[in-house]
Chain A
Amino acid sequence: MFELLSWLHRYLFIFLLASFFIINIAIYYYNKRLLQPFLPVIIIITALSSFALLSVIKEDTDYKAIAIALAFCFQYILARILLAKLLKINDIQLFDLTNMLLSIGLIALYRLNPEYAIKQSMFALLGDAMYFILFFFLKRIDVKKDYTIHLASIILGTLIIIQFWGVEVYGSKNWLEILGYRFQPSEFLKIVFVIYISTILSKGLSKNTMILSNSSIFTAVAFFALQRDLGSALIFFAVYLILMFVVDEKVYPTIISAASALVMAVISYFAFSHIKSRVEAWLNPWKYVSDKAYQVTQSLFAIASGGLIGTGLSLGYPKYIPAVHTDFIFSAICEEVGIISGIIIILILCMVTIIGLNYSKNCKRTANKLICLGLSSMTGIQTLIIVAGVLNIIPITGVTLPFVSYGGSSLISQSINIGLLFFINTNETGETHE
């Protein structure tokens, strides 16, 4: 009987996702503000219906699933009200979009392993708290001051600490352990780095700023290469190029940076065996199907077996993919709720990026413009890297799918990312009112 419910559920799921996306488009591009209240309703129905389904997989009803769904809805609604009332955020759409992604992620994680979903909902609470901590903190400092040196020392200090005290997990030495809790500092460094580069570049592209920003990015990327954190290296560089491209009056400084990155990539291909094996797996996945390319081919099998509407929740076999709950969650979602759901998730993430870019357009101060641009590009680039990776369009680099993948550091840093966008946007619009 469960199978029937699961088969029917995937239609409901796709319908909810599609209507969620269409309503978002209507609100954003056609200014249909009246539709805004439908968004939380759809998110809650999606979470409750999916978790209700997951609770009846076995004979005995699993009340833990229901509890998680209720906890998620509660945190979402509470945070939504508090953001509007306490922080005076008028434009709450970004928060709705990211929470839809979070709820899809929780459903997929609970299906893979309930433990992950329980932890992830705690991380979500911490993420919500970050909005308020961020606003509280930023209101108390003078954002117009120059913090370049402080930011630079934070970045360099953290990179050195990781280099010496880092813990190796999944082949990358980019984790730190404090009081038994492990986290990935690079997730937070990304945000600091965007702010740092933006402040430098906002002063205009002179010889000095060029040298400073270029040496910073190459130092950071070199550290990541040593720590085998290819994903972070790629994201940092892509975001840096985007920032350069925007402030660059001519085009050739950007082209030179891009070219030197390409040269570095080629050198690292020959210098590091792990990079070489990733590239080989990418070029010939079927030749290395049993070793180097095992993970990515398992991901392709999963996506190929779901079809447009999927096998139904818990009726597929996404657990064949190693690390499915972090980097490869997209494949798991495609297998069980279909490629259409996968496409809508991509479109939702596209929208998160575009809304951030429009915040950037509305900013008056150049530094703020660049920070908004850098932060939202980061979400966009990270999505592209991992989705193209699991589809074997590009070599696989271990990064998470924003708001969907399991991971405390990743989810909290993405909340900070959105929080900063909110802060800059309310500040800038606030200034114009005065």
Chain B
Amino acid sequence: MSNLPKRLNYIKWFFIITFFGIGLYLLIFNFFQAKYIYSNSYNKRLRIENTNIIRGDILDRNGIVLATTKVKNGNTSRVYQFGKHFSHVLGYYSHELGSTGIEALYDKELSSSHIVNIIKGKINNEPVKGNTVKLTLDKTIQVYASELFGNKKGALVALNPKTGEILALVSKPDYNPSKINSNWPSLIEDANSPLLNRAIDGLYPPGSIFKIITTSAALHGNYKDMEIDCTGSININGYEIKDSNTKGHGTINLNEAFTLSCNSYFVKLGLKLGNESIYNEAVKFKFNRKISSHVISKNSVYNKKSDEKSLAQQSIGQGDMLITPIHAASIAAIIANDGVLMPPHTISEIIDMNGNSIKNMKSIKGERIIDPDKAREIKDMMINVVKSGTGKKAKLSGIVVAGKTGTAENPHGAPHSWFIGFAPSEDPQIAIAVIIENGGSGGNNAAPIASKVIKKALSNILKK
């Protein structure tokens, strides 16, 4: 037992390291996870009303009040000024049901105030108001986009690619947060799941918008000069993939194939690149990963396969993969912002009752996803899509729009209609993703909505 003292020392260090490790974990838990865990709707603390403090307001980026608390004869009620247009972003606040959305995520901030304010309030016997949460959303764009959807099901995410600020986040169908208690039974039974926030938690097959990622893999792998002869369909081990143009595109290069969204080309390109390369590119573009630490969204899914049939499907955005609309908008933003992803976020500032800023998001840092020159090459292809390809219906006079359409086959009926893009192409101010469930062709259905929202947003931004 000669080495007993040495072994004793190992044990000592084992304990010191594990104890400190747990201490460190507690700190990490507090700074990075606590907020999201706290906002879980099973947390009963969200249903307790703080009787000392009147819940704070939620404002849009220009200071327009979106949610406020009215006090009448000692009874408080939460009022949502724009009703269902903001239902999924703001969420609801209810004693019976708990809360969701911003109401849950920023519950602590909304229902608390600095201790000095509370003491002053107690002494002067005046009501104390909780902190105000100011969003990055623009009320005008949000309401306009929400109304454009009409009765269609789907989602829209618009953001500023240079800052990551989310300007609009629409999910349809929606609900009225002010009447959540009385409508609850019908809402949970509704087969269209109006309570689901499709913009961040809806997982859809990406279809052809995924070709951006296949193209990026091709540019990095030096396949950009590949040409093929498109005959209108391609057969991979007995599985046939058709093109929208059944006569075929003839001899076609990468740029033309991207513009016309030629499936045969991308299937062949994918087969050359291989499973590994496309999977790596997808992960680089944040598939299977969190896109932002400031938004709780579902992760997009890309399951790595090893057979040619799956590879063929995945090269054109079908098969074993799913994407969230907010992620789709982020991909457009990456290309718009020369390959750098600014983490999407919905909060711009938290302000206390005296108007002092407690927290802001100015110090947000971007993450480089692809090289700037590759991003610019993809951008040029996306400009062509709108100029002369599948996305013509997104064209605007005087503004160059860049985009990519998608028509995603799915097991629930007609294909989903996708459009992602940004504008103006020379100095992008807005990146957008639109999905219409079972909407048919992306170019015909999603692209017009996207272009209208882009137009409204740009005129709104230029006004200021």
By a beta-carbon cutoff of 8 Å, the part of chain A in contact with chain B is 1, 3-4, 7, 204, 242, 245-249, 286, 289-290, 297, 300-301, 303-305, 307-308, 317, 320, 334, 339, 342-343, 346-347, 349-350, 353-354, 357-358, 360-361, 366, 369, 373, 377, 380, 383-384, 387-388, 391, 393
Contacts and interface: CB of A to CB of B under 8 A. Distances in A.
Given A4-B122, A317-B45, A249 B19 contact: no
B1 A366 contact: yes
Given A4-B119, A301-B43, A305-B38, 12 more contacts: A301-B37, A304-B34, A304-B35, A304-B37, A305-B45, A320-B45, A339-B30, A346-B19, A357-B15, A361-B8, A384-B22, A391-B26
Given A249-B3, A307-B34, A391 B11 contact: no
B119 A246 contact: no
Given A246-B8, A343-B26, A391-B25, A384 B38 contact: no
A361 B44 CA distance: 49
A269 B332 CA distance: 46
Contact of A350 (B19, B43, B118): B19
Nearest to B33: A304
B16 interface: yes
Interface residues of B, number: 39
Contacts, number: 116
Contacts of B34: 303-305, 307
Contacts of B7: 245-246, 248
A325 B453 CA distance: 56
A286 B20 CA distance: 27
Contacts of A369: 4, 8
Given A349-B19, A354-B15, A357-B12, A289 B5 contact: no
23 contacts: A204-B1, A245-B7, A245-B10, A246-B7, A247-B1, A247-B4, A286-B40, A289-B42, A303-B34, A304-B29, A304-B35, A305-B108, A320-B45, A347-B19, A354-B16, A357-B15, A361-B8, A380-B19, A383-B19, A384-B18, A387-B22, A388-B22, A391-B25
- Chain B interface mostly: helix
A131 B168 CA distance: 68
B22 A307 contact: no
B272 to A, nearest CB: 39
Contacts of A393: 22, 25
Contacts of A358: 12
A393 B33 CA distance: 13
A377 B115 CA distance: 43
Contacts of B44: 301, 317, 320
Contacts of B221: none
Given A347-B19, A357-B8, A361-B8, A305 B43 contact: yes
A308 B30 CA distance: 7
B129 to A, nearest CB: 17
B364 interface: no
Given A246-B11, A384-B22, A388-B22, A350 B40 contact: no
B127 interface: no
Interface in B69-120: 108, 115, 118-119
B20 to A, nearest CB: 8
A200 to B, nearest CB: 14
A4 B116 CA distance: 10
Contacts of B366: none
Contacts of B52: 3
B1 A249 contact: yes
A275 B15 CA distance: 26
B63 interface: no
Contact of B11 (A242, A317, A343): A242
> Across chains A and B, which 10 residue pairs bring their CB atoms closest together, nearest first?
A350-B19, A304-B34, A304-B37, A246-B7, A304-B38, A301-B43, A343-B23, A380-B15, A289-B42, A357-B12
